[in-house]
Amino acid sequence: MSNVLEVKNIEKYYGNKTNLTKAIDGISFNVSEGEFVGIMGASGSGKTTLLNCISTIDRVNAGKIIINNQDITKLKGNKLNKFRREELGFIFQDFNLLDTLTAYENIALALTIQKENPKQIDKKVKEVAEKLDISGILNKYPYQISGGQKQRVASARAIITNPKMVLADEPTGALDSKSARQLLETFEHLNKKLGATILMVTHDAFTASYAERIIFIKDGKIFNELIKGEDTRKQFFEKIIEVQTLLGGDLNDVI
């Protein structure tokens, strides 16, 4: 299978000459099409910086990031925005839905800003709503629906443009455990049935256990990599906990 994402030896520094912090210190990995990859690490490990760099919100100081055969570190200005709009889908911890728009409009907005044909938009929104089981709440405003529903609306917005890759940043961070489980099942569904490539950043082992492969990051470097393979999710979860213990990350993270 072809690689959707190739991260090649990237580095990202903060600060100045006298006080240099390496947020990312030579990370390389690949994500192939249709994969569901998790990135784990403690606070300050550099995982969010990594996601920001991949999502073109931030720039790297060295190395290459190739998404769909295009080196995004070379893109600039409007091309970058266009790339982000068309090739990537985002899901955020705090949903980032517009409170003035209905669920339907929030989903449609991702298409309208791509100047999609209005006739197609309505059809596509209804289709994706059907798949994510949110058809019933399309005409509601964000404040009228639950957190889980909000995150599913956000997911619908992220995948409606048929992105090459969906980037999720702590997607279950603001959800209760039941909603979190539902959302993760939705992700599984997106990944397995619809073939979406998902890259998810989380510090929660349970959330991570839904992924097929997990990359652990510590101090800006890749510390370990776990592949689910033939394991059940429970076995995979236990392995993740083991690695986390090794990592010696936040005690809080090891429940």
Partner 1 sequence: MLFKLSLRNMKKSFKDYAIYFLTLVLGVAIFYMFNSLDSQQAMLQVSSSTRDMIRLLVDLLGMMSVFIAIILGFLIVYANNFLVNRRKREFGIYMTLGMGRRQISGIILLETILIGILSLAVGIFIGVFASQFMSILVAKLFEADMSEFTFVFSKDACIKTCIYFAVMYLAVIVFNTLTISRYKLINLITAIRKNEKVKIKNPIISILVFIISAVILGYAYYMVTGGVYELDTADELLKPILMGIIGTVGIFWSLSGFILRVIQSNKKIYLKGTNMFVLRQLNNKVNTNIVSMSIICLMLFMTISVLSGSLSIKSALDSQLNEFTPIDVNLYKTAYLPESYVNSYTGKTVYNTETQIEDSKYPVSYTLKTNGYDMNNLKDIVEVAIYAIPEWTLETSLGNYLETAMKQFSMLAYDTPETVIKISDYNKIASLYGNEQYSLNDDEYMVLCDFDQMINIRNEALKQNSNIEINGKTYHAKYNECKYGFVIMTTSNMNGGIILVPDSFEIKKENTEQYFLAANYNADTDDGRQEIENTLIGSENTEFVNNIKEKGINLDGNSKISLREASKGLATIIIFIAIYLGIIFLIASSAILALKQLTESSDNKQRYTILRKIGCDEKMINTALFSQIFIFFMMPLALAIVHSIFGIKFILSILAVLASPDELLPSIIVTAIIIGAIYGVYFLATYFGSKNIIKEEE
Nearest distance from residue 172's CB to partner 1, in Å?
A: 19
Q: What does the alpha-carbon distance between residue 67 and residue 231 come to, in Å, rounded to a whole number?
A: 29
Pairing of strands 3-15, 62-67: antiparallel
Among 21, 43, 74, 118, binds partner 1 (CB under 8 A): 118
Among 18, 143, 229, 251, binds partner 1 (CB under 8 A): 143
Among 14, 15, 21, 82, binds partner 1 (CB under 8 A): 82
Pick between residue 49 and residue 209 the one whose CB is nearest to partner 1: 49
105 binds partner 1 (CB under 8 A): yes
Query: Would you state the torsion angle of the CA atoms of residues 33, 166, 150, 104, taken in this order, to the nearest 10 degrees?
Result: -90
Q: What does the alpha-carbon distance between residue 179 and residue 155 come to, in Å, rounded to a whole number?
A: 13
Among 5, 60, 75, 108, binds partner 1 (CB under 8 A): 108
Q: What does the alpha-carbon distance between residue 53 and residue 38 come to, in Å, rounded to a whole number?
A: 16
123 binds partner 1 (CB under 8 A): no
Pick between residue 160 and residue 243 the one whose CB is nearest to partner 1: 160
Pairing of strands 70-71, 88-91: unpaired
Pick between residue 137 and residue 205 the one whose CB is nearest to partner 1: 137
Binders of partner 1 in range 215-254 (CB under 8 A): none
Pick between residue 83 and residue 223 the one whose CB is nearest to partner 1: 83
Nearest distance from residue 87's CB to partner 1, in Å?
A: 10
User: Over the range 132-151, which residues count as b (16 or more CB within 10 Å of their CB) and which as e?
Assistant: bebeebbeebbeebebbbbb
Instruction: Provide CB contacts within 8 A for 122, sequence distance 6+.
Output: 108
> Of the candidates 56, 78, 74, which has an alpha carbon nearest to the alpha carbon of residue 64?
74
- Kindly determine how many residues on this chain lie close enough to bind partner 1 according to the rule CB under 8 A: 34
Binders of partner 1 in range 24-63 (CB under 8 A): 57
Pick between residue 21 and residue 112 the one whose CB is nearest to partner 1: 112
Q: What does the alpha-carbon distance between residue 57 and residue 78 come to, in Å, rounded to a whole number?
A: 13
- Burial environment of residue 233 by CB neighbours within 10 A (0 to 12, 13 to 18, 19 or more): middle
Pick between residue 121 and residue 215 the one whose CB is nearest to partner 1: 121
Which residues bind to partner 1, rule: CB under 8 A? 57, 77-78, 81-82, 84-86, 88, 90, 92, 96-101, 105, 108-116, 118-119, 121-122, 141, 143, 157
